[in-house]
A and B are shown apart, each in its own frame.
Chain A
Amino acid sequence: MNRKLLDLWVGFFVAIGFAAVLFLALRVGNVSSANFAETYRLTAKFDNIGGLKVRGPVKSAGVVVGRVAEISFDAQTYEAVVTMTIDGRYHFPRDTFASILTAGLLGEQYIGLDAGGDEKMLNPGDVVAKTQSAVVLEKLISQFMFSKASETADSK
C-alpha cells in the first residue's frame, strides 16, 4: 500500500481517537468544572454525616462551589470532621451555616452552605461553627409515628 495513503488513514485514526478522548473529557466528564483553579480549605463538624462521600459537592444557592476533600472522625467529641475545598473565588461570612442535604428523595448527599450576614469572612483553614446534620430517614419516620400516636392518644 502507498505510504502516503497509509499515513493519511493512520492520521485519521489517531485524530478521531483523540477526538473521542476529548469528547469523554469535556462532554461526558466535564473536566472544566471539576477542577477549580485556586482553592482553600474549610472544615465543619457534624453529629451525623449520613451518606456523605469524599468528592461529594459543596453547594451554595444550588451552585457547586467546592468538593468534600476528607472525612474523618474526632475521637474526643465523637463528631464527624468534614474538610471541604472551596473555590478560591468565593468567600463566605463567619456565620455561614453548613448543612447536609439530599438531592432528590434518594439522591446523593451534599453540603449546602447558607451565607450569613457577618461582615468578617471565613479564612482558609477556619471551622464552620454552625452545622446541621444529615436527616436520617429512619429517625424521621419514627418521630412522625410517635407524634401521630401521641396525637391520637390526646384526642381520645
Chain B
Amino acid sequence: MRDGALALLTGLIRGAGHRMNDALQTLGFAARFFMMILVYSGQSFRRLHLTIREVYFSGFQSLLIILVSGLFIGMVLGMQGYETLQRYGSSEALGVLVALSLTRELGPVVSALLFASRAGSSITAEIGLMKATEQLTAMDMMAVNPIARVVAPRFWGGVISMPLLAALFSAVGVFGGYLVGVVLIGVDEGAFWSQMQGSVDFHLDVWNGIVKSFVFGAAVSLIAVFEGYDAVPTAEGVSSSIKRTVVYSALAILALDLVLTSFMFRGI
C-alpha cells in the first residue's frame, strides 16, 4: 500500500519534471528559431516578392473578416455606449468612448485574435504540411535554406500586415460607431467628432495602438511559423500544431496586452 503511494508520487514528480524539461527545450528551440529567422531575413528580403506574396495571403485576404468585424464591433460599441452614457446625460461623449476603446484596446487585440485564427492557422498548416510531405527536407537537399525561403517571408508578411489590419479595424470601427450613434440614434454630429478629437491623443492613443498591433503581429507570426516548423510530421501532428497556434497566439496576445498596457498607460 505504502509502496504503491510512493510509486504514484514519484511517477507524478517524474512526469512533471519531464513535461517541464520538454517545455523548456521547446522554448529554447523557439528562441534559436527566432534568431535564425532574423539572421536569414536579409537573404529572404533579396527576393522581396516572396514576402509580398505572403502580405497578400495573410494581409489582403484577411481584409474582409477584419473590416466586417470592425464595423460590427464599432456599431455595438455605439449602441452600448449610448445606452450607458445617456443615463448620465452625456451621450455626446459617445465619440470619445468609441474611439478610445477601439484605438487603445479593441482594435489591436481583436484584430490580432482574428488574424491568429485566420492567417496564423493557415501558415502553420502550410508549413506543417510542407514538413510532413518532406518538402522542407527536399529544399535543404537542393541547398535552398527553408528558413530563408519559406519561414522568414511568412513571418515578415504577418509582421507587416498586422499593424495595417489593426488600423483598418479601428478606422472602420469608428465609422461603425458613427453610423449607429449619429446616423441611426441621432447624437449631435459636431459634438461626436469634436469631443473625439479633443480627447484622443495621437501619440498616447493611436500610436500606442499601432505599437501594440506590431508586437502582436510579431508574436502571432512567430508562433505560427514555429508551430508549423516544429510540427510532428503526421496528419495528427499538423492538426495539433494548428490547435496550439490558435491557443498560444490568443494567450500571448492577451498577456502581452496586459504588459504593454501597463507600460503605456501608467498613471495618466
Contacts and interface: CB of A to CB of B under 8 A. Distances in A.
Contact of A6 (B53, B165, B193, B204): B53
Could you tell me the dominant secondary structure of chain A's interface residues? helix
Contacts of A104: 90
A29 B202 contact: yes
B171 A23 contact: yes
Q: How large is the interface on B (under 10, 10 to 19, 20 to 34, 35 or more residues)?
A: 35 or more
Given A6-B52, A104-B90, A30 B59 contact: no
A107 B89 CA distance: 11
A25 B202 contact: yes
Contact of A29 (B60, B88, B197): B197
A24 B170 contact: yes
Contacts of A25: 202, 206
Interface string B91-117: 000000001000100000000000000
B198 interface: yes
Given A28-B99, A29-B200, A55 B268 contact: yes
A24 B103 contact: yes
A17 interface: yes
Interface string B157-183: 000010111011011101000000000
B163 to A, nearest CB: 8
Interface of B: 49, 52-53, 55-56, 59-60, 63, 88, 90, 99, 103, 161, 163-165, 167-168, 170-172, 174, 193, 196-198, 200-206, 209-210, 268
Interface of A: 1, 3, 6-7, 9-10, 12-14, 16-21, 23-25, 27-31, 33-34, 53-55, 57, 104, 106-107
